[in-house]
């Protein structure tokens, strides 16, 4: 999956699994292979292709770029963790 970003150019989404529970792990890397951000955060076990978005650690511009890609959809649910609420999303395009 490729995502055009405002500040990092054309990036690739690496799809992996968290080792402790098998949750979906999505990492955004730039054209040189450098990690830009973790799209996901591992709060608790989720369903297949569901994830908690790591919104608070990437900023609004990058989040808008990621959501504009069409690969992901917000469910409208939020998961509280500490002082944050992470939006629950679904991977709609592999």
Task: Report the SS3 class of residue 42.
Answer: coil
What does the pLDDT look like over 51-89, one tens digit per residue?
999 988 899 999 999 999 999 999 999 998 888 899 999
pLDDT value for 33: 96
Residue 64, H or E segment: helix 60-68
* pTM of the shown model: 0.92
pLDDT value for 93: 73
pLDDT value for 82: 84
Q: What is the number of domains present in the chain?
A: 1
What does the pLDDT look like over 1-12, one tens digit per residue?
999 999 999 999
The whole domain housing 7 covers 2-91
**What is the chain's length?**
94
Closest to 87 in 3D by CA, of 36, 20, 48, 40? 40
CB atoms within 10 A of CB 36: 18
């Amino acid at each position: 999956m490729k995502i055009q970003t405002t500040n990092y150019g054309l990036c690739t989404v690496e799809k992996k699994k968290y080792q402790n529970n098998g949750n979906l792990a999505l990492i955004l890397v730039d054209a040189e292979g450098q990690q830009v951000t973790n799209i996901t955060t591992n709060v608790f076990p989720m369903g297949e292709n569901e994830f908690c978005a790591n919104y608070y650690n990437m900023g609004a511009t990058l989040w808008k770029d990621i959501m504009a890609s069409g690969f992901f959809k917000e469910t409208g649910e939020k998961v509280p963790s500490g002082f944050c609420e992470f939006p629950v999303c679904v991977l709609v395009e592999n």
